[in-house]
Structure 1
Amino acid sequence: MRESLKFYIDGTWVDPTEPKRWEIINPATEQPVGVINLGDESDVDIAVAAARQAFRSYGRTSRNERIELLESIIAAYQLRSKDLAEAITDEMGAPSPMALNQHALIGYVHLWTALEALRTYKFEELRGATWVMHEPVGVCALITPWNWPINQVAAKVAPALACGCTMVLKPSEYSPFSAQIWTEVMHAAGVPAGVFNLVHGDGPTVGAALSSHPDVDMVSFTGSTRAGVEVARNAAPTVKRVHQELGGKSANIILEDADIAEAVVAGVKAVTHNSGQSCNAPSRMLVPASKMAEAVIAARAAADSIKAGDPRSGADIGPVVSKVQYERIQRLIEQGISEGATLVAGGPGRPEGIDRGYFVRPTVFANVTNDMAIAREEIFGPVLSILGYEDVEDAIEIANDSPYGLAGYIQGKDPKVIADIAARLRTGQVVINHPQPDPRAPFGGYKQSGNGREWGDLAFEGFLEIKAMLGHPPRDAQEVEAHADALESAK
């Protein structure tokens, strides 16, 4: 049994002000795997005060000091990769190879990417005769979900540290143990006291206290659109910056010239990856109406080949994270059937031969229309909806007919057609023919998928304020020359 009963505040492990036990359930076995304490407003006050005090010095550190710190964190992180993978499998059910080679690895990738961006990032520049400074925003509240637990922690903590911010992390109460190990990495790496703080808790208590706290300058939240709205409401009275990465219902447009079988198989695998628990999953597959029958055959075979089971048994996918999530997915599968979509593969209930755990059958619906619940709602499970379209204009209209705009996918061969479609999709990312992930590519969405961007150097912008310094005197020979040139060009 794992335990995480203390919080990490001001460089030490401390007891909660009012301990409240919360049991963590292994989603593959439905049995307890550990316990944590949940915090409250008092714990948030203490952690924010520590971060505010630490910002006085950390906010003024040099680029080189922060480079050295990130290098130290990376070294400490690499020593704990296997521990992180084990925790992720226990708490959210990721298959063991995936937990190590994707979930744990992505934390290292985000740290390394932030380090490389920090080496060359322009924190100040001369514009005309004015110096423009990019300074750390201050104390940040980082609220992260359970589906890619270390990915989202690293995608927030790494750029925040690189920019000179201090922070309080509230990880999901469903995936706390990977965050515990991450915190141990921060401590081992020598992160200064108060710069990084951890408070466990739920959204309505700790999340709300952080997002409304008057001494928090910025909130970075990843989660559902519903919860994101609440974060924004809580933050509004203090007019703090709110950065949100929310839900998605991404369209995957398979063009007429694509290899239909190959494209459909790739699409099914992308949707079921991580048991469907990815906000950018291509969960609406758009195929030419004339090729619907061909798509159905390929999708059925692909879904039936995906093995769900014990995360340590070599299965392709594990369970979904919780009973609540399992029941919601089952309800939406039943609704898809009742609304008249054609069930191609999977369906309600657990996979054959599995009698416990929150396992969902890889499920495919065909002949879906864009007004059905399974085409509108973010299911967050291994469930694919296939919609037919008449021509490219129809496909673009269907793809954009969604409250979400996180990602769009295109599979085809004609680069001119692909470029035109990509330019017209109202999404933060467009993924063409399933390339390898790029950690430098900005990640975030349009519409109700959120605001701001994570990943790479553009992630820094959320953690920086902009200050214009008019009439600032040059400080060295290089600035004297640049200043003279600017004044001359302004004449």
Structure 2
Amino acid sequence: MREYLKFYIDGQWVAPIEPKTADVVNPATEAVSGKISLGSVADVEKAVAAARKAFASWSQTSREQRLDILLAIQAEYHKRMGELGEAVIEEMGAPSALGNGFHVGLGAGHLAAAIDSLRTFQFEEQRGATLVVKEPIGVCALITPWNWPMNQTTVKIFPALATGCTMILKPPQLAPYSAHILAEILHTAGVPAGVFNMVQGSGAVIGTALSTHPEVDMVSFTGSETVGVEIAKNAAPTVKRVCQELGGKSAHIVLDDANLVANVAAATSGMMVNSGQTCSAGSRLLVPASRLDEAIAAARDAANGVTVGDPKGDFAMGPVVSKGQYNDIQRYIELGVSEGAQLVAGGPGRPEGLTKGFYVRPTVFVTTNDTTIAREEIFGPVLVIIAYDDIDHAIKIANDSPFGLAGYVVGADAAQCNAVARRMRTGWVSINGGFDFQAPFGGYKKSGNGREWGEFGFHEYLEIKSLLGFAPAQ
């Protein structure tokens, strides 16, 4: 049983000002696995004051000083990757291979990318008689979700540290364990007091207090569109910057070639990774209408081949994160059936043999792009197949969405893949499995604003100052 009952404020582990706790449930067993404290507005005030005080000195540190801290964090992170992986498995049900693999690997990758970017990032540029300077924006509120806990926290913390900002992290209430261990890592690595602070609690309390606080200069939020809108509204009166990575309903376009069956199978299996709880998941699979039957057979076989069970066992997919998430996904599956979508694999209820835990059957529908299950983000292992007539039709379907976070194109003709990717109205497109920690990640339309990852993520934490008449040193 884990107990994380203190917050990290001003370089110390401190008790909450108003004691209040909440249970954390293991989604694989439905049993309580631990307890955390829930913060209050008073805790936020204390954390913001510490961050504001620390900003005066941390913002003036040199590139080399910040690099030293990030390298120290990197050493500690690698020492504790096993602990982080076990925490992720327990808190949100990721299978062992995934929790100890890609989950913690993403954090390590973002840390390495921040270090590489900081070594060469241009914080100053002389333009004639003007010096353009990029300075840290100030005190940042970092509000993160539960679905990829290490990815979402590290992609905010490390750029903020690298650029000289101070911060308050509000980790997810459903998946708080890995964030606590990460805070221990930062402390051991020697991050100065007040530079990094962490307050656990509910979004309604902590998130609102941070987004409305006049001493918070910037909010970086990853989560649902609904909450993102509320944060933007809350932040508006203080005119603070808001960087948001919100929902997605991303199209995965499979081109018509000899590899179609294999590509459909890979896309289907890939959609089920992390129990489909990925904002950038290719949840709309677009296939040529002339080969729909082949695609259906391939998707059915792939979905039925996804093993589901205990995250600590040898299974490809674990549970979804909570009872609420399970119920919401079941509602969408039942809605798909009632709307007349063709059920290809899976369906309502738990997989056979599983009577406890928030397990969902890997589910595939064939439908059209105007149905609810094709338009709304389900955030579970539910894939919809949509047929297209030709490439223009495929692009039209892909772009016919209120979201624009990610996209995928697979096919043997590289030039055709490139042309299709250029026409997709989305912020991040993977061509034949492409992946890059330095590539800017973020969305169009209701998928948010701003960019994260690598050098481009630095810009969200910087203000631009012009020094006119600045004479270069002779």
> Which of the five TM-score ranges fits, normalised by the shorter chain?
over 0.9
Map of 1:472 onto structure 2: 470
Q: Which runs of 5+ in 1 are unaligned?
A: 478-491
Check if 1:147 corresponds to 2:147: yes
> What CA distance in whole angstroms lies between the structure 1 residues aligned with 2:128 and 2:333?
59
> What CA distance in whole angstroms lies between the structure 1 residues aligned with 2:261 and 2:416?
20
Task: Give the drift of 1:417.
Answer: 2.2
Task: Give the drift of 1:37.
Answer: 0.6
The DSSP-based 3-state class of the residue aligned with 1:309 is coil
> What CA distance in whole angstroms lies between the structure 2 residues aligned with 1:231 and 1:47?
19
> What CA distance in whole angstroms lies between the structure 1 residues aligned with 2:252 and 2:108?
29
Map of 2:351 onto structure 1: 351
Task: Give the drift of 1:257.
Answer: 2.2
Residue 319 of structure 1 aligns with an amino acid whose one-letter code is: P
Alignment of structure 1 residues 6-405 onto 2, 5 Å:
6-257=6-257, 259-366=259-366, 368-405=367-404
Q: Which runs of 5+ in 2 are unaligned?
A: none
> What CA distance in whole angstroms lies between the structure 1 residues aligned with 2:418 and 2:23?
49
> What CA distance in whole angstroms lies between the structure 2 residues aligned with 1:434 and 1:419?
13
> What CA distance in whole angstroms lies between the structure 1 residues aligned with 2:302 and 2:90?
27
> What CA distance in whole angstroms lies between the structure 1 residues aligned with 2:163 and 2:131?
18
Task: Give the drift of 1:217.
Answer: 0.3
What's the CA shift string for 1:410-445, capped at 9, x where partnerless?
11122332222111111001111123x311111110
The DSSP-based 3-state class of the residue aligned with 2:272 is helix
Task: Give the drift of 1:332.
Answer: 0.2
What's the CA shift string for 1:108-156, capped at 9, x where partnerless?
1111110110000000001232100000000000000000001110000
Aligned-residue RMSD, C-alpha = 0.8
Map of 1:425 onto structure 2: 424
Residue 248 of structure 1 aligns with an amino acid whose one-letter code is: G
Task: Give the drift of 1:62.
Answer: 0.3
Contact 1:38 / 1:202 at 8 angstroms: preserved in 2?
A: yes
Which of 440, 443, 446 is the matching residue for 2:444? 446
> What CA distance in whole angstroms lies between the structure 2 residues aligned with 1:86 and 1:294?
39
Contact 1:258 / 1:411 at 8 angstroms: preserved in 2?
A: no
> What CA distance in whole angstroms lies between the structure 1 residues aligned with 2:57 and 2:274?
40
> What CA distance in whole angstroms lies between the structure 2 residues aligned with 1:409 and 1:127?
39
Q: What's the TM-score, normalizing by structure 2? A: 0.99
> What CA distance in whole angstroms lies between the structure 2 residues aligned with 1:291 and 1:105?
37
Contact 1:96 / 1:311 at 8 angstroms: preserved in 2?
A: yes
Task: Give the drift of 1:364.
Answer: 0.5
Percent identity reads 59
Task: Give the drift of 1:258.
Answer: 5.1
What's the CA shift string for 1:201-225, capped at 9, x where partnerless?
1111000100110000000000011
Residue 464 of structure 1 aligns with an amino acid whose one-letter code is: L
Change (3 A) 1:268 1:19: same
Q: What's the TM-score, normalizing by structure 1? A: 0.96
Residue 432 of structure 2 aligns with an amino acid whose one-letter code is: N
> What CA distance in whole angstroms lies between the structure 2 residues aligned with 1:43 and 1:474?
45
> What CA distance in whole angstroms lies between the structure 2 residues aligned with 1:320 and 1:342?
24
The DSSP-based 3-state class of the residue aligned with 1:8 is strand
> What CA distance in whole angstroms lies between the structure 2 residues aligned with 1:258 and 1:210?
53
The DSSP-based 3-state class of the residue aligned with 2:442 is coil
> What CA distance in whole angstroms lies between the structure 2 residues aligned with 1:39 and 1:434?
41
> What CA distance in whole angstroms lies between the structure 2 residues aligned with 1:441 and 1:123?
19
Contact 1:103 / 1:148 at 8 angstroms: preserved in 2?
A: yes
Contact 1:76 / 1:185 at 8 angstroms: preserved in 2?
A: yes
What's the CA shift string for 1:242-274, capped at 9, x where partnerless?
000000000011112251111101110111011
Contact 2:418 / 2:431 at 8 angstroms: preserved in 1?
A: no
Residue 462 of structure 2 aligns with an amino acid whose one-letter code is: L
Task: Give the drift of 1:290.
Answer: 1.1
Residue 223 of structure 1 aligns with an amino acid whose one-letter code is: G
> What CA distance in whole angstroms lies between the structure 2 residues aligned with 1:108 and 1:417?
34
Residue 49 of structure 1 aligns with an amino acid whose one-letter code is: A
Contact 1:404 / 1:448 at 8 angstroms: preserved in 2?
A: yes
> What CA distance in whole angstroms lies between the structure 2 residues aligned with 1:423 and 1:432?
10
The total of aligned residue pairs comes to: 474
The DSSP-based 3-state class of the residue aligned with 1:364 is strand
> What CA distance in whole angstroms lies between the structure 1 residues aligned with 2:287 and 2:258?
10
